Chains A and B, each alone.
Chain A
Amino acid sequence: MSDPVARPVFFEGQILGALDLQDTVEYSRGRDARHSRYLHTWGIATGLELSQKEKEVDVNGTPVKYQEIWLSPGMAIDGRGREIIVSEARRLSEALFDELNVAVQEKPGEEHLYPVLLMGRDRSAPPSTFTISDCANPEPTRQLEDYEITFRGPGEDLGLENQTPPDVSAGADTSNGQPWLILLGYVKWNNTITKFKGFENKSGSTGRRYAGVLADEVAARGGRLLLRTRIKNQSDKPALVLDETDGGELKFGLFNAEGTLVPVLTVKANGDIITPGMVQSKASSGTVYVQSGIASDGVVLPLPAGVKPEDVTGKGTLHVQVSMRLEDLAPPASPAGDWAPVPIECSVDADRRVRCQVRWVQIAAAPNFVDRPGVCNYVLLVGIPATGG
């Protein structure tokens, strides 16, 4: 059970100790941490991107290329609500990677990805040189909210979503000594020259995690609410807009080069849905769907748009009409002569597969015929019964 949050109060004539002042600071820190923890989701807030610079190292007289991996400045919020600030670009340390001994043997053609992780770490500033008496021991008067970068073995990033959050009233400090890890990306390692080969932002479906917002209600002040996938309006990126135009409308689309949303779907307040694209939906009850066209021998007749095979095998009723298509038929090229087409098969089996063949009979010749795969015209109707009907 966690302790209640204590807010320092003071009275006239109170003698203030260091702890009183410390509690004042901690109260604000804890409140900020709880806000970040419960009104936001943890992750990268800005920056903290990996980049690489190609370099070369001499190995027994042979130049071998490698990559220096750099981390850009930025900020993250960890799962305890602690801000982690990287104030300047920093090169990832090959020596640290080597020292951590996370590299695994790679078979030919294999390339492992090693998670790069960021964690907040407090560090005491150098002690103050000024004291009230020469006898007092100088102690630090500042705590630096620093960070560390570390590496893990391949696949050891999978448990990051399951890190244990602190008690509800706790502040941002790592009381149990376990740092909260934030994934920045992955590096590739050359074990021969003990240098990085490159980096990736994702490994399969796992990748950098960005901070988010926890909210059950999001409200705009200007009558227009915009949801987009990038920090700025970016060309060819999608967005969703809810605004009060014409009594209210919902628009989904892509931004154009001018940063204007070009809607591909608009829902009006009067219920109209406008789209230049196609609306596909699950087959609805009480509806007859139609498809028609031409199909050659052996083909399975396609179902109408929106109808799935399970709709037909379930409650739906399938009606099919096929007839031999005689237009544009070409007789056998040889032997030369007059040929007459005779339909000998034109049907659809239980799998909706067309069976269509035509027999070409040579006229004014000894009995001679050639069978050819045929083509049929088809009409296919799928009736989906009304619910309860």
Chain B
Amino acid sequence: MTDKMTLIVVKKTGHVLGVVTRESDPEGKLEPKDVAGEKLLVRFAGSAFSAAQFFVPSDELAVEVKDFDPVVVTRPREFYLNADKQVTGTTGTTTITPQSNTQIRVAVAAVAAKTPAWIQVLSKNDPTDTQVRQGEIDVGQKQVDLDVLPLSSGDVYHVFALVGGRDQIVQDVTAP
């Protein structure tokens, strides 16, 4: 069995969205499109599985080969790559609050270093209505307001949020 695993990560935050191992040529170079296609399917866990499924564009992704870890392979979405590209468990919660129909606030506990934030917004009514936005939470701050293309007031949107080192989260919001 190979002692390597290939992680599919979000370039902006390092969050692991998928994993694959290869017995043949386990460390051979792969491009995100080789393992994600044009978009990577990310179905969010919950008692209503598939209620929110995201397709993350492959140009938002990177692949990294790491030493095999059975825990990471089994539960990849509980890990991220830190600044030193070490596989590290995520911890801490993120909250998502729409500020207006063109701005979504992503909040965590105050950060000690500039921290990347990445969201994908998906209309519950129209699966083709999706957008990716990203930004940074500044040192000492708890939040960042990300500008989004206008959301339809009253509509429900799934928001998939990743903040550096924090747990992955999907939250439904209603556009103001």
Question: Which positions in A face B, CB cutoff 8 Å?
Answer: 278, 290-305, 325, 327-330, 351, 353, 355, 357, 369-373, 375
Which residue of the partner chain, among B6, B24, B36, contacts A290 with CB atoms under 8 Å? B24
Complex-state Cα separation, A299 to B43, whole angstroms: 11
Asked if B158 is an interface residue, CB under 8 A from chain A, the answer is: no
Which residue of the partner chain, among A278, A290, A297, A301, contacts B43 with CB atoms under 8 Å? A297
Q: Which residues, 69 to 97 on B, are CB-close (under 8 Å) to A? A: 70-71, 73-77
Which residue of the partner chain, among A292, A301, A329, contacts B23 with CB atoms under 8 Å? A292
Q: Which residues, 94 to 134 on B, are CB-close (under 8 Å) to A? A: none
The segment from B13-21, B135-143, B147-155 that touches chain A is: B13-21
Contact yes or no, B71 A328, CB < 8 A = yes
Contact yes or no, A298 B28, CB < 8 A = no
B55 and chain A: residue at smallest CB distance: A298
Contact yes or no, B22 A375, CB < 8 A = no
Contact yes or no, A302 B47, CB < 8 A = no
Contact yes or no, B20 A295, CB < 8 A = yes
Chain A residues, CB < 8 A from B22: 291-293, 302
Contact yes or no, A303 B34, CB < 8 A = yes
Given contacts A291-B23, A296-B20, A328-B70, contact A302 B45 (CB under 8 A): no
Contact yes or no, A291 B70, CB < 8 A = no
Listed by A's residue number, 21 A-B pairs whose Cβ atoms lie within 8 Å are A292-B22, A293-B26, A295-B19, A298-B17, A298-B40, A298-B42, A300-B40, A301-B35, A302-B20, A302-B30, A305-B24, A327-B74, A328-B70, A328-B71, A328-B74, A330-B75, A351-B37, A353-B37, A355-B41, A372-B45, A375-B76
Q: Sort chain B's interface into a size bin.
A: 35 or more
Contact yes or no, A353 B75, CB < 8 A = no
Contact yes or no, A278 B18, CB < 8 A = no
Chain B residues, CB < 8 A from A297: 18, 41, 43
Contact yes or no, A299 B34, CB < 8 A = no
Chain A residues, CB < 8 A from B161: none
Contact yes or no, B45 A373, CB < 8 A = yes
Complex-state Cα separation, A71 to B28, whole angstroms: 46
Asked if B2 is an interface residue, CB under 8 A from chain A, the answer is: yes
Which residue of the partner chain, among A278, A302, A329, A351, contacts B74 with CB atoms under 8 Å? A329
Question: Which positions in B face A, CB cutoff 8 Å?
Answer: 2, 5-6, 8, 17-26, 28, 30, 34-37, 40-43, 45-49, 70-71, 73-77
Complex-state Cα separation, A229 to B109, whole angstroms: 56
Chain B residues, CB < 8 A from A278: 25, 28
Contact yes or no, B73 A328, CB < 8 A = yes
Chain A residues, CB < 8 A from B26: 293
B23, B30, B36: which has the most chain A beta carbons within 10 Å?
B23
Contact yes or no, B18 A296, CB < 8 A = yes
Contact yes or no, A300 B34, CB < 8 A = yes
Contact yes or no, A305 B28, CB < 8 A = yes
Contact yes or no, A370 B43, CB < 8 A = no
Complex-state Cα separation, A373 to B41, whole angstroms: 11
B45 and chain A: residue at smallest CB distance: A372
Complex-state Cα separation, A130 to B108, whole angstroms: 96
Chain B residues, CB < 8 A from A303: 34
Having A304-B25, A373-B45, one finds 7 other A-B pairs with CB under 8 Å, namely A294-B5, A297-B43, A298-B43, A325-B74, A327-B74, A329-B74, A357-B49
Contact yes or no, B43 A373, CB < 8 A = yes
Contact yes or no, A375 B24, CB < 8 A = no
Complex-state Cα separation, A347 to B3, whole angstroms: 25
Given contacts A293-B20, A294-B20, A295-B20, contact A370 B35 (CB under 8 A): no
Contact yes or no, A294 B24, CB < 8 A = no
Contact yes or no, B74 A305, CB < 8 A = no
Contact yes or no, A298 B18, CB < 8 A = yes
Contact yes or no, A294 B19, CB < 8 A = yes
Contact yes or no, A371 B74, CB < 8 A = no
Complex-state Cα separation, A369 to B41, whole angstroms: 23
Chain A residues, CB < 8 A from B49: 357, 371-372
Contact yes or no, A302 B34, CB < 8 A = yes
Complex-state Cα separation, A129 to B34, whole angstroms: 81
Chain A residues, CB < 8 A from B37: 300, 351, 353
B36 and chain A: residue at smallest CB distance: A300
Chain A residues, CB < 8 A from B35: 299-302
State the Cβ distance, B10 to closest chain A Cβ, in Å.
13
State the Cβ distance, B86 to closest chain A Cβ, in Å.
20
Contact yes or no, B18 A291, CB < 8 A = no
State the Cβ distance, A360 to closest chain B Cβ, in Å.
10
Chain B residues, CB < 8 A from A328: 70-71, 73-74
Complex-state Cα separation, A357 to B48, whole angstroms: 12
B30 and chain A: residue at smallest CB distance: A302
Contact yes or no, A294 B73, CB < 8 A = yes
Complex-state Cα separation, A319 to B149, whole angstroms: 43
A290, A295, A351: which has the most chain B beta carbons within 10 Å?
A295
Complex-state Cα separation, A46 to B17, whole angstroms: 55
Chain A residues, CB < 8 A from B77: 373
